Amino acid sequence: MPVDPELRALNIDIPAQPESLVKLSMLLAEEEVNLQQISLLVESDMALASAVLKAVNSSLYGLSGRVQSVHQAITYLGTREVAAVTFEMGLRAVFPVAPELAPVWERAAVRGLLMGRIGHAVGVDPWAAHSAGLFEECGKAVLFRHAPARYKPLLATAVSDEELTLLEHQEFGVSHDALGAALCESWGLAPVAVHSVRFHVIVNATWELPVQVQRRSICALSAVAHALMTDPQTLDEVTNAVAPQAQLEPELVLRGARRVQAQIERAVAQVA
């Protein structure tokens, strides 16, 4: 999809999708996914393969033994999660290495895993959910890449994403949610993932899913993951508010969310 002309007029560059991820997207779109081809594609980029293996061997994934190859990682975790980690590493690689962005990528990894696994548990497209979680805050990296000196004070000042979007509009005339959605479009993510990225700030602030979003399930999972990551005490309240708006059964979502949360907590505790 083409990037919104209004964003182009602001002269804020949207990074192009790396060639390796373009090829990976094509492989994932095939009717019968070829695991060997995916493994070879990722392993053909030494830096990318190294980053992927480092990520899947982290405590977040809770593997009992150390994974030595991408193919082995796919065997243990499945194609979707390894593909998502590859997209995460590819996304990070197009932006500068900076301490200010480290929390963005850390949250992206956890949120993507939460949304993908909860999506799998409740029958919502897990790839769209995982990718939406990964890309939710990527607009912050776009603005940081565009003008780091101007953007650093905004990141340091804002106490919430809602406040940050107001500061971004004042400084740049656009906010990270719109830029993140534009990057998702240019990288060919599913429309449901694009919409989740575009509206995540308002959804997390209000627990209301926008009427213009036709398939609301990914937006709902974004709100559930946000509650788990920021204030687990509100999980029941948030889920009961957003799940019915997406025609999801609140109890089913809650069970899935708690199960995934427990999986991650056990994985982290095992290496603590």
What is the DSSP code string of 138-184?
Answer: HHHHHHHHH-HHHHHHHHHH-SSHHHHHHHHHHHHSS-HHHHHHHHH
Integer Cα distance of 122 and 263 in angstroms = 16
The per-residue pLDDT for range 150-184, each reduced to its tens digit, is: 999 999 999 999 999 999 999 999 999 999 999 99
Provide the b/e sequence for 173-207 (b: ≥16 CB within 10 Å): ebbbbbbbbbbbbebebbebbbbbbbbbbbbbeeb
* pLDDT top residue among 92 and 9: 92
What is the mean pLDDT of the segment spanning 24-30? 89
CA distance 61 to 92: 19
Question: What are 90's two structure tokens?
Answer: 């590819």
Question: Please, which pLDDT band fits residue 2 given cuts at 50, 70 and 90?
Answer: very low
| Banded model confidence at residue 216, pLDDT cuts 50, 70, 90 | very high
Structure confidence at residue 268 (pLDDT)? 62
DSSP string, 83-147: HHHHHHHHHHHTS---GGGHHHHHHHHHHHHHHHHHHHHHTS-HHHHHHHHHHTTHHHHHHHHH-
Host H or E run for residue 60: none
d(CA 226, CA 133): 10
Q: Is the pLDDT of residue 128 over 90?
A: yes
Q: Which domains does the chain have, with CATH numbers?
A: 1-14+99-272 (1.10.3210.10), 17-93 (no CATH)
Span of 3-12, 74-83, 221-230 with lowest mean pLDDT: 3-12
Residue 140 has pLDDT above 80, yes or no: yes
E strand or H helix at 208: none
What number is the average pLDDT over the span 114-128? 95
What pTM value is reported for the model? 0.90
